Amino acid sequence: MKIPKPTSISSNGENFPYIIVGDEAFPLKSYLLRPYPGKQNVEYDKRVYNYRLSRARRTIENSFGILANRWRIFRKPIILKVEKTIQATVCLHWLHMADLNGNEKVQYVTPESVDREDETGFVPGS
């Protein structure tokens, strides 16, 4: 996989690497964040890392779920070059954001369809 070289994302010029957030199914790579293996007897720092990585993955999956709920192109594998897929995703994201900014009553995703937390803990979306 061709991962871009680290680039600056702030005015101080510090470079940050591009990364992919994955799960246990992915192989270890320098550009891939995946959880530490095992559920039992995992050190506290590793449990915290796994928890935060899980929240990041959930946020990413929810974001793509929102896009897929609106545009069917995201419901199956996209047969395009990676660059075109990225361009299409960015365009549809901006279209989605423009709709939200122009009309606050846009509700194509019901509250029940997204993950949330309540007083009992994590509640998965439909």
Mean pLDDT of 16-23: 92
Q: What percent of the chain has pLDDT over 70?
A: 90
Which residues, at least 6 apart from 92, have a Cβ–Cβ distance to it below 8 Å?
A: 67, 70, 71, 73
Angle at CA 9, nearest 5°, toward 8 and 14? 45
- Residue 115 corresponds to which tokens in the numbers above? 């993950």
**What are the pLDDT digits (tens) for 86-114?**
898 889 888 888 777 766 565 556 677 77
- Mean pLDDT value across the chain: 85
pLDDT digits (tens, 9 = 90+) for 53-84: 999 999 999 888 888 888 888 888 989 888 89
